Amino acid sequence: MLITKYGVDNFLIIIITSIILFVLGYFINSLYAKYPLMLLSIILFVFAFVFFRDPERQVPLVAQNDDSYVISPADGKVVEIIEEEEKYYIKNKAIRLSIFLSPVDVHVNRSPVSGLVEFYNYYPGEYLVAYHPKSSELNEHSKIGVMTSKGKVLFKQIVGVLARRIVCVVKEGDILKSGDKIGMMKFGSRMDVYLPLETNFKVKVGDRVVAGETILAIMK
Catalytically active residues, by annotation: 189
**Whole-number Å distance between alpha carbons of 109 and 160:** 16
- Which three-class secondary structure string do you get for the chain? CCECHHHHHHHHHHHHHHHHHHHHHHHCCCHHHHHHHHHHHHHHHHHHHHHCECCCCCCCHHHHHCCCEEECCCCEEEEEEEEEEECCCCCEEEEEEEEEECCCCCCEEECCCCEEEEEEEEECCECCCCCCCCHHHHECEEEEEEEECCEEEEEEEEECCCCCEEEECCCCCCEECCCCEEEEEECCEEEEEEECCCCEECCCCCCEECCCCCEEEECC
Nearest one of 69, 123, 93 to 194, comparing CA atoms: 93
**Whole-number Å distance between alpha carbons of 195 and 77:** 18
